[in-house]
Amino acid sequence: MDTVATDSTEYITTVLARLEECYGVAQWHPRLGPLDELIACILSQHTSDVNSGRAFERLKRRYASWHEVATAPTQELIETIRCAGMAETKGPRIQNVLQLIREQQGDYTLDFLRDLPDEEARAYLMSLPGVGPKTAAIVLSFALGRPVMPVDTHIFRVSWRLGLIEKKIGEAKAHDVLQARIPPELIYRFHVALITHGRQVCRAPVPRCDACVLTDLCRHFNST
């Protein structure tokens, strides 16, 4: 393996091409509106997709609007989203976020983000309580189609094993490093391909290297 190649666009495109041969080419389409995506992300923190998805569905069934969520008795909201875990933290946080957006924008909406440059939109989201780089990136990428790289535990693991980043920098800083290395037009596809590979093959704690199409390019494999 040529270790210098991990810094090149050729390395990125080679990794992506091989993964897309296995998993297909991801096509972007909006999953939710930006505010719905933000609340869904808050519910997903430190829990499984199944649990957070169930909590989001319960939230939308019980309350007809974000105004109702923001003004609901807090304990009632906590019980509604209990299945997401950490409900005592997430319930008040969701209400705080909604109330702050309403105070600043005059309504419960994040549609104004569509008119902001990526960095300004990211900075606004990260100014909200409990919103870090991963949550902000997910909203910008999945709701607005921006070329912003969300990094979860799977993407972080695959990236440091491949040699795209150093493990010691941690997930928070990995967002900016990967953002700078991946061509903007490939960011969404790269995100989806890596997260799929991390879930199916490059698992923690033991990767399925025998089933991996990237072993000749992988720093971790070639060093161990």
Tell me which residues are annotated as active site: 134
Residue 151 contacts residue 178 (beta carbons within 8 Å): yes
Cα 180 from Cα 48, distance rounded (Å): 29
163: alpha, beta or left? (left if phi > 0; alpha if psi -120 to 50): left
CA 68 to chain centre: 27
Residues 6+ apart with CB under 8 A from 108: 35, 65, 66, 67, 70, 98, 101, 102
Residue 113 contacts residue 144 (beta carbons within 8 Å): yes
Residue 219 contacts residue 162 (beta carbons within 8 Å): yes
Cα 65 from Cα 224, distance rounded (Å): 53
